[in-house]
Amino acid sequence: MPSVGRRLPLVALAAVLGVLAGLGIRAAADQDAATAEHAGAVNAFASWRFHFDTSAEMLATADLVVEGDVTSVGRGRIIAGNSTTRQQLKEYRMQVTRTWKGSAAAGPLTVEGAGWEISSVPGEGEMELVFAETIEPAPGDHAVVYLTRNNGDGRLSYINNQGVFIVKDGQVEDSSRTDPMVAAMERRSAVTLRQRLQADLRLVAAGAVTAKPAP
């Protein structure tokens, strides 16, 4: 059973964020402890490997940009932790309906994200890792996602907390994220979102916008 209201120890948090940095996620250097308890989850106030001022810059940097239907969200692989904890990734499956940039293997697309910190200490259980300013697609959602390949191993994760947009009833859903670029994208209809993607592709093809180097 998951523990409720357990604060993630700083040593364990450092291990979690160190591993998640390989997925494009890292802790903000100026955050005190970078955690807050909320209904059994850890809300880590995270910055990310990339931050973009424009959607064109985000598209130029992404390895893959796709649109499609989320078919399932579940537990994925377990990755390294420390002597008392390990991390299990969350696994999103998508049925791609349109590829905007890059190429994906045939069949359902698998995307990895932050999942759970699991303790081997008796009675401590596990915590779901929830990052601020982030939305997570749910089964049944139609989404446009900007993805990056991790460490050259071919596995995909969201490029950052800006690069996920849910489309519902012909409109980009308002997630209440405060980032100006995201807020502007979420004021669009599905039609104008796709027009923005097409315009961004033209900017990138013309060399007017280039990929942002990893920090």
pLDDT digits (tens, 9 = 90+) for 115-156: 888 887 787 788 888 777 888 899 999 999 999 887 567 789
Domain that holds residue 163: 10-205
Give domain status of residue 213, yes or no.
no
Give domain status of residue 212, yes or no.
no
- Evaluate if residue 99 carries a pLDDT over 70: yes
Decide: helix, strand or coil at residue 83: coil
Q: How far apart are CA 169 and CA 148, in angstroms?
A: 28
Determine the number of helices (DSSP H) and then strands (DSSP E) in the chain: 4, 12
Q: Give the number of domains in the chain.
A: 1
If we measure between CA atoms, which residue out of 181, 44, 72 comes closest to residue 136? 72
Give domain status of residue 44, yes or no.
yes
Question: Which DSSP state fits 177?
Answer: -
- pLDDT above 90 covers a percentage of the chain that reads 46
pLDDT value at residue 28? 35
Give domain status of residue 211, yes or no.
no
Give domain status of residue 54, yes or no.
yes
pLDDT in tens, 169-182: 999 999 999 999 99
Contact call for residues 170 and 191 (beta carbons, < 8 A):
yes
Give domain status of residue 137, yes or no.
yes
Give domain status of residue 127, yes or no.
yes
Using a 10 angstrom Cβ sphere, with 0-12 exposed, 13-18 middle and 19 or more buried, the burial of residue 18 is middle
Confidence of residue 48 (pLDDT cuts 50, 70, 90): low
Give domain status of residue 86, yes or no.
yes
